[in-house]
Amino acid sequence: MTLADVARRAETSTAVVSYVINNGPRPVAAETRERVLAAAAELGYRPNRVASALRSRTTGVVGLVLADAQTPYFATLAGHIERALDERGKLTLIGNAGYAADRQQDLVERFLAAQVDGLVIVSADGGADVAAHAEEAGVPAVYVHHQPTEAHAPVIAADNRTAVHEAVAHLRRHGHERIAFLAGPHDIGPVGLRRQAWHAAVADAELLRCDYSRAAAATVAERRITDGTMPRALITATDEQAIGILAGAWAGGLVVPDRLALISLDGTPDSAYTAPALTVTQQPLHAMAEHAVDQLLGTSSPSPAPSAATLILRRSCGCDHRASAL
């Protein structure tokens, strides 16, 4: 099925059909447009995207490099980015780096070889400036969540410091002064910023560390309960860690929030469905995605910059709010 077939059915020229299918470059009368679209639908016509790409030197495809596709935070962020790109007529190809810096670089090189129109890089902490390869190839790129040291590509990130300050202030309103913090294994990237903000606010409290898995955090909780060293108030760097702490507390017979007040700093959808439901500082992931895509595509009227995280009060901190995910 070709443009000529559609043109014959719609009783117009192939040029007019091309203008309708490609949305330009010349305007087409509404009645003619409807006739062309109806003819294309009747004939089952599908435009040749490869030929279109050769003509326009664009593919309509954007590569999304994801730090870890299995982590709910990154999966949720990826969903928002994909929808934002789709609304702007772009197809998203997703590559999962799995927290591996070398894998992240390999994905960027493969996306560039596939001639994507742009790259959105949800960077793994500690990774190199892979966007530099895109810049050399003349392909626009934007970082989301984390920007490697010395990178020049723009970054859209949450206000991690404000999120921590709100969490600390809220726990203090519950009467807690010694507020511990569960960080990752290293002080790199956004989690490092969260740890630094906590240390500036409560320098005399205890720092705990584990990787970002639920299993690792559950082990920390169980060991601390057994040793009798579990803090009374705790902020976790991620929801995955907080969910692990809840599991470990349940296994060790420690009641949250009666004996442990808990706040997490991500605010992923899972946080509303734990028992008890997690109090969180909810990151503005939708706004981050919209702003990043507008930045990448050079939108003339970009969406507003992301606002600070929102403190969502639930039961784990000691508030009377019941879990309400509906």
If pLDDT is split at 50, 70 and 90, which confidence band does 46 have? Answer: confident
Both tokens of 111, joined, read: 């996306």
| Residues 151-180, mean pLDDT to the nearest whole number | 94
DSSP code per residue over 187-244: --HHHHHHHHHHHHH-TTS-EEE--SSHHHHHHHHHHHHHHT---SEEEESSHHHHHH
The residue ranges of every structural domain in the chain are: 3-47, 59-156, 160-283
* Range 160-283: architecture per CATH: 3-Layer(aba) Sandwich (3.40)
Question: Which CATH fold would you assign to the domain 3-47?
Answer: 434 Repressor (Amino-terminal Domain) (1.10.260)
Domains 3-47 and 160-283 share a fold: no
Amino acid identity at 88: R
pLDDT value for 326: 34
Look at phi and psi of residue 290 and say left if phi exceeds 0, alpha if psi is from -120 to 50, else beta.
Answer: alpha
Which of 160, 309, 135 is closest to 121 using CA atoms?
135
Q: What is the pTM of this model?
A: 0.81
Q: Which CATH number is 59-156 given?
A: 3.40.50.2300
Average pLDDT, the chain: 89
Mind listing the pLDDT tens digit for each residue in 187-199?
Answer: 888 999 999 999 9
If pLDDT is split at 50, 70 and 90, which confidence band does 170 have? Answer: very high
If pLDDT is split at 50, 70 and 90, which confidence band does 54 have? Answer: very low
Reduced to 3 states, what is the DSSP secondary structure of residue 319? coil
Mind listing the pLDDT tens digit for each residue in 316-325?
Answer: 999 986 544 3
